[in-house]
Structure 1
Amino acid sequence: MVPDWSVANREDRVRVYMVSPGSLGEVVGELSGVDRSGCSVTEGYYTDTRASGKVRTVGDDGYVEHAWLRIVHEVPSLGYAEEMLTGPVSAVDVETGGGVTSREYAVESSLYAIKDDLMASGWTIGTNATLRSFCESVLTTCQRPHDLSAMCGRVFRSPVTYERGESALHMILDACGDTDRVSVDGHGVITVSAYVPPSSREPSQDVDPASARSVVIGAVRTSDSAETVPGRVVYVAGSGDREMSATADAPASWPSSSARRGYMVARKESDSTSDVTWDQLRAKAESALKAAQDPGRKHELTVAWQAWHQGDVVRIKLRGTWRKCLVQSVEDDLGSMTQRVTLKEE
C-alpha cells in the first residue's frame, strides 16, 4: 500500500547497505556516517542503464572494498521501507579537510554491470528460438540475477547474429526491440517484461499544481518541439535511374500542415530496398508522417516526495486540461525528500 506522503512530521531515513556482488541477498554491512543531503537517485526511462545514484558519507564509514551498495528509504512510523537502488560502485571521490574525511560514492545499476561485459564469442539466435531463452542464456553467462516471468514469449522467425565483442546489455536491448522492456528493480534484479505503451496504461495519480493541497513545489516549465514536426515526408528508394520517391502531406486540419503553420517543414526518409513499388513507398511515407506528429511536449517540475519512478504514468492539470504523462525521468533528492521530474505527454 502506498503511504500518505502528506503526513505531517514524517521521519524519513536513508540507510545504505553493503551487499555481496555475487549474492544480492547477502548483506555484509551498513555504511555509517551517511549524509542524506549528499544522497540522490536518478532514473531515466530512455537511458540504457535506467538508474544511478550518489551516496555521501562523513568520517570512517566502514566501506568494504568491491561491495555493492543498496540505498533504502525508510519511514519507521508508517512501517515503510523501499529498496531504491542496488548496484556496483563506479567511482569514489574522497575529500579531507579540518580533520574530517568525506566520501562520495557513484552507484550504478545492475544493467550498468553488463554494459561493458563484452562477449568473448559470437552469439546466434536460431530460427524458432525464443527471446526468453536468449535473455536467460546471456544473463546467466553474466551471472546476473534476473526475472523473466512477465516476458511476452516472442519467437524469432529468422536467425539473428551478434559478433564477438558485443556488449551483453546491447544484445539484450536490441533483441527485445519494441516487444519487451528491459529494466532493473531496487534489489538489483534485472527484469524483462512485455512492453505496454504508456498511452495504454491508467494513471496512478492526479496532480493539480493549482490546488491548495498541491504536491508541486514552485513553477511548472513546459516545452515541446511542435515547430519541427514535419508537415510533409518525402520517401526515396533506389538510386540513379532507378530512384523513385513518394510524398505524403499533412491534411490542412493538422497543426503541422503548411495551411496552419504558414510554411512547410519537410523531412526526407530513405529506403534501401530497390524493388519497392510506388504504392508501397507512398504507404511508407504516410506511415512515417503519422508517426512523426508527436510534438514531444514535456513538463518539468519539482514535487514533494511521491515515490515516483521512471515508467510511472500520472495525470497533471495544466491550463484547465488534464494531461496524461509518462514519468520520463526522476531526480530524487534524499536530503530534502523532493523529486525533480520530467513528465512526457502521451
Structure 2
Amino acid sequence: MSTDLKLGLNLGYWQRGPADATALVQAAERLGYDSVWTAEAYGSDAFTPLAWYGARTSRIKLGTSVAQISARTPAATAMTAMTLDHLTGGRLLLGIGASGPQVVEGWYGVPFARPLARTREYAEIMRRIWRREGPVTADGEHYPLPLPAQGRPGVTGLGKPLKLITRPLRPEIPLYLGAEGPRNVALAAEIADGWLPLFAFPEKIEQMYGPSLAAAGPDFDIAAMVLTLVTDDVRAALDGVKTMLTLYIGGMGARDRNFHADIIGRMGYADAAAEVQELYLSGRRDEAFAAVPDELADGISLVGPAGRIRERLEAWRKSPVTSLLVMGLGDEPSLRTVRDLVLG
C-alpha cells in the first residue's frame, strides 16, 4: 500500500502541429512533478520528443512509456538510452514493451512469438552494455551476439564482441516494463525497476496481480497511467474515458487476440469487453461506446471536480501504485490542481 504517491505527466504520442508541450513540461517541472513520459506506436517515436523536452528542462525525470522492443535491437536502444541519459544529467527512465502482433508483425515486420523471452534477453543485453565489464556476448535464442553464421544465409561470421565506446553516466539506468498480462507483470517484478500499467483499477490490482508482484523489491515503482480530467462536467469526462476504452477494447488488437480486451475481462468486465469488441469490429462504433460501463471508465480514471478527484485518490493511495502518471491535462492550472490534490 502506498500513501505517498509520486506524480508524473504522461504526454502520450507526439503529433505534428501544436503538439510542442514544452511549456506544459516546464510548468510540471516548476510545480514539482517527478517525471514526464512520452510514447510510441506507429507514428512518432518516444525518444525524440523526450530529448526535446529534456533540453528545455533541468530536473524533471524523462520516461518512455513505452519504447517498443521490436523497433530497435537491444544495442540500439541501449545506445540511445545511454546518450539521452548523459545529455540530460541522468534523468532517463527507460520504459520498454513488447507491443502486440498487429504492430510488431504488421509495422516492424518481425515475429511476435515469445514476447516474455525476448523481453528478458533484451533487458539483460542492455544492462551488460551499460555495465561495460567487457565485450558483450549473448547466447540467447532471440538476440545472439555476435550473430552466428550457421544456418543464417548471408551472415559472414565475422562479427566480434564489442564494448560500448562511451562510458555511461549511470551503469544502471532505471528500467520499466509496460505489461498487462500476469506473466508479463511477474517478469517486470523480477527483472525491472518498475511496471507501467496502461489500465489500472486501484481496488482490483491486488486481486489481479498480487501473486505476480510477489518478487518485487521494496523500491519497485508501479507507475500507473491514469486519464485525469479536472472538470465540473462529470458526464463529459466519463464519456472521454469511454471513447478511449472503446478504441482500445474494440480496435487495438485482433478479434481473437486483444491484450487490452483481456485485461478488461480480468477486471470483471469480460462480457462487456466482448460486446464492445464485437460491435466495434462490426462498424457499430456508437453502440460499442455505449456498451462500455461507466463504472469501468470511472474506476481507471480520475475525473470530475477537485473534490471528487480527492475522494477517488484515496483508492489509489490504498493500492500498490506508487506513481500516478496523469494523462489528459493540457494547461498549468489543471497541473497545479492535480499537484495540490496528489502531493498536498
- Structure with the higher fraction of residues in helix conformation: 2
Larger Rg: 1
Interval containing the TM-score (normalised by the shorter chain): under 0.3
The structure, 1 or 2, with the larger RCO (C-alpha pairs under 8 Å, 6+ apart) is 2
- Structure with the higher fraction of residues in strand conformation: 1
TM-score when normalising by structure 1: 0.26
